[in-house]
Structure 1
Amino acid sequence: MWCGVSTKVDFNCDTMISRMFSIYLVLCYLLTICLSCRLLVPSELLNGCVFDPMIISVSHAGFSINRDNCNSVIAKHVFAEQPLVYYGRARSDRTYTLMLIDPDYPHHANGQFYLHWLVTNIPGEFLRQGLTYDIGEYIVGYQAPDPPVFSGQHRYMVFVYEQLEHEIEVPQPDGRAKFDPISWMESFGGEDVIRGPIASIGFKTEF
């Protein structure tokens, strides 16, 4: 009698463990799929050195970043003022959108960035000669990099997108924090209106 009870209990335990393990594997598989899908969206926005090279220059510091020193660690005070942005392959018959984003800001989910700068409707000829103040439509004004204390090094990437329409109307982001560039662009037409990034440059800094 005791053996019979023991066998039944062992069988039930083995069955339960087997089922729980199967459920665990399924959940892990589904989680992996979800994370992979999500990672595919912002992965191109995690490195400022992968698209056509640009140059950002800070006249007061006599300093510039190009493809040769892209992703270098720079003191944050260097970019206290809005830099000049040059994209030599910009076309004079096209307009562009520029954004500066930080993917390493604390408490931001994957695919969310801290938005430091957002300008649309930039004439290509000005971008080729050097984007300065009051050129294009400033959706979000320039904010200098300022990583929070103890948050380590932050990546800062400047991306340029080519507009398929000469002038576009875009929604104002809800704020600088937790900016999702993919969702933002999809909200006004996505690839039917804007494409890219076509050019980029990046640097790193810390508190």
Structure 2
Amino acid sequence: MYSDPTREIPLEETTGLVWPAALGIMFDSKPPSLQEVIAVVNKARAKSAPGPNGVPYLLYKRCPNILKKLHKIRSAWKNIKISKEWMTAEGVYIPKEQNSRGINQFRPISLLNVEGKIFFSVMASRLTKYLTENGYINTSVQKGGIPGISACLEHAAMIWEAIQRAKSEKLNLDVVWLDLANAYGSVPCIRGHTDDAR
């Protein structure tokens, strides 16, 4: 289900791609600042489950001096190598409903070590800033992963508005949902309107 047997085969160049304009800002490749690390830790939920090493975010939230010591470890930049511990996950299954028994009633999640999640959160934030400030992302189309945009709610509202317009103006409307088998129950069910919206 999650494998790609052709992943090692390089893709051919796609015709018709629009190349972006010259860079406005360069990607920030400096080691994470203490302020960036603190921002990630403060934003994280204190009850987040720890990874394989058992260290939770709560330790770094309540012990700022330990967080400062973590910040001083910059081996990822010195050695240009990511720690194996940061790439090791512990898989657990979370029940999707009460009294779950069958495997299809659970969803798998991977628990990573907090230290790696802090590092990758800083990198993700920098990458998002780099892409948005250089105009590489069109936020009228791409909404997921952009700070300040609630993509699921916005898309659901747009779809709901289209359904209501089609009903009121007696228009034909086709709505296609993709990958519902792996949606883990996150797609809202619009009860009582399924037949009307077809």
Pair in the same fold by TM > 0.5: no
TM score, norm. by length of structure 1 = 0.23
Which one has the largest radius of gyration? 1
**Comparing both chains, which one has the higher relative contact order based on Cα–Cα distances under 8 Å and sequence gaps of 6 or more?**
1
* Structure in which a larger fraction of residues adopt strand: 1
* Structure in which a larger fraction of residues adopt helix: 2
